[in-house]
């Protein structure tokens, strides 16, 4: 009876907060592109430079998106940040670069061997990184599944360092060149004055089919349903007859395979690889996953693309030395407005 006198809906202060949350977030995301768009229009009278930033940003961001999915999938199912995931990505680059060198492919190779060489490198990197990720889970995380959450977190950091040192032993401490098979910086075509390079096309051609296959697998297949069920309630999943251990292994396999694919794209795009790329790349991809809302697949992709774009604008116009600060500045702002991330989903932990 008392409840009837209380007006319906949230109080005004709450509503204002929600408004700031929704619109503030959009405003924050648009600061840089709008600012530079105005600048371009006044200086040049067109948006070509911003368009080029966008293209390069999206194709770079595709790499982060692929790696970020691995963080988000694993977090969704075992609520663990797999700190070794960046190194899985690095190993993917190393595997594909080694295969390309072993096959004897160079800049001057004909198109057909390059195509099949890249396809083989993609498959081998995906299989290698995927298997490695499964092994890491088996050795370092599974025995600790019922241990306090900090224990597997520390073994994850440990696995990360171990793999970094594997990379250091394998290719040495310096940046290693990779044969520039695709002539990565070569302009393939231009759209409205915006140049599209070979590497941009590779990035899109590899990433989009992988994303489509992955999301339809998770949403539609029987095993994908088992993955989602396990992520939401492992105990109920067991009552359905789902083997939770196998499902978790499958999740690590998928995450690792995407990181391996990202490793190949990175090697072809940057044409250099080194043992530390997994640490920096992993950190950026992890940021993308958190920005998009950890546990959410589409969020990871969105976060990756946004970060790629921010990085590109900053590198191109502000200075590379500022880029990390700007990326993480964005992360902090987004988190303040929306602590669960852009497409944040409720996880078991958060309720």
Partner 1 sequence: MSFLKVEDIHTYYGNIQALKGISLTVEQGECVTLIGSNGAGKSTTLRSISGLTPARTGTITLDGEEITHLPAQEITGKGIAQSPEGRKCFQRMTVRENLELGAYLRRDSSQIQTDLQRVFELFPRLDERQAQKAGTMSGGEQQMLAIGRALMADPKVLLLDEPSMGISPVLTERIYETIAEINQQGMTILLVEQNANFALDVSKRAYVLETGKVAMTDNSDTLRTNPDVQKAYLGT
Using CB under 8 A, list all residues that contact partner 1: 222, 225-226, 228-229, 232-233, 235-244, 345-346
CA 220 to chain centre: 22
List, in sequence order, every residue forming a beta bridge with 196; answer none if it has no partner. Answer: 189
Nearest distance from C-beta of residue 349 to partner 1, angstroms: 14
Closer residue to partner 1 in complex, CB, 229/313: 229
User: Given the complex with partner 1, which of 196 and 223 has the nearer CB atom?
Assistant: 223
Task: Work out whether strand 187-191 and strand 194-197 pair parallel, antiparallel, or are unpaired.
Answer: antiparallel
Give 103 or 244: the residue with its C-beta nearer to partner 1.
244
Q: Which is nearer to partner 1, 43 or 235 (CB)?
A: 235
Give the 3-state secondary structure of residue 188: strand
Q: How far apart are CA 92 and CA 181, in angstroms?
A: 17
Q: How many residues does the chain have?
A: 351
Q: Please state the closest distance from residue 348 (CB atom) to partner 1, in A.
A: 10
Nearer to partner 1, 61 or 224 (CB): 224
Alpha helix stretches (DSSP H) within 79-197: 85-102, 111-136, 150-171
Q: Which is nearer to partner 1, 26 or 222 (CB)?
A: 222
Which residue, 232, 229, 188, is CA-closest to 55? 188
Q: How far is the CB of 283 from partner 1 (least distance, A)?
A: 29
Tell me how many degrees the CA angle 101-255-300 measures, rounded to the nearest 5.
110
The answer to whether the CB of 240 falls within 8 A of the CB of 229 is: yes
Residues 6+ apart with CB under 8 A from 223: 217, 247, 250
Q: How near is the Cβ of 198 to partner 1 at its closest, in Å?
A: 41
Residues 93, 98, 101: CA angle, nearest 5 degrees: 125
The nearer residue to partner 1, 95 or 231, going by C-beta atoms, is 231
Please state the closest distance from residue 209 (CB atom) to partner 1, in A.
Answer: 26
48, with CB counted inside 10 A (0-12, 13-18, 19+), is: middle
Alpha-carbon gap, residue 63 to 144, rounded angstroms: 30
């Amino acid at each position: 009876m008392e409840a009837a006198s209380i007006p319906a809906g949230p109080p005004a202060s709450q509503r204002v907060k929600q408004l700031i949350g929704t619109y503030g977030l959009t405003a924050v995301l648009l600061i840089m592109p709008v600012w530079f768009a105005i600048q371009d229009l006044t200086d040049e009278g067109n948006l070509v430079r911003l368009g080029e930033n966008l293209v390069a940003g999206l194709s770079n961001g595709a790499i982060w998106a692929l790696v970020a999915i691995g963080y988000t999938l694993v977090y969704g199912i075992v609520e663990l940040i797999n700190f070794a995931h960046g190194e899985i990505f690095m190993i993917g680059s190393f595997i594909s670069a080694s295969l390309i060198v072993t096959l004897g492919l160079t800049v001057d190779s004909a198109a057909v061997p390059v195509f099949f060489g890249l396809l083989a490198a993609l498959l081998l990197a995906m299989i290698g990184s995927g298997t490695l990720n499964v092994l890491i889970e088996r050795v370092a995380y599974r025995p600790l599944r019922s241990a306090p959450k900090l224990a597997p977190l520390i073994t994850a950091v440990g696995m990360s360092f171990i793999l970094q040192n594997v990379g250091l032993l394998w290719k040495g401490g310096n940046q290693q060149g990779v044969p520039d098979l695709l002539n990565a910086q070569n302009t393939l075509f231009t759209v409205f004055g915006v140049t599209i390079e070979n590497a941009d096309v590779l990035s899109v051609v590899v990433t989009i089919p992988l994303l489509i296959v992955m999301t339809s697998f998770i949403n539609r297949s029987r095993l994908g349903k088992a993955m989602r069920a396990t992520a939401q309630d492992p105990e109920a999943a067991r009552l359905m007859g789902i083997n939770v251990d196998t499902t978790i292994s499958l999740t690590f396999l998928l995450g690792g395979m995407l990181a391996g694919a990202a490793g190949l794209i990175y090697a072809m795009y940057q044409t250099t690889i080194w043992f530390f790329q997994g640490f920096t790349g992993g950190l950026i991809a992890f940021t993308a996953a958190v920005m998009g809302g950890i546990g959410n697949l589409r969020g990871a992709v969105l976060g990756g693309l946004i970060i790629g774009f921010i990085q590109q604008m900053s590198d191109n116009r502000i200075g590379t030395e500022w880029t990390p600060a700007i990326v993480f500045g964005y992360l902090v702002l987004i988190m303040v407005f929306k602590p669960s991330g852009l497409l944040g989903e409720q996880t078991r932990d958060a309720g």
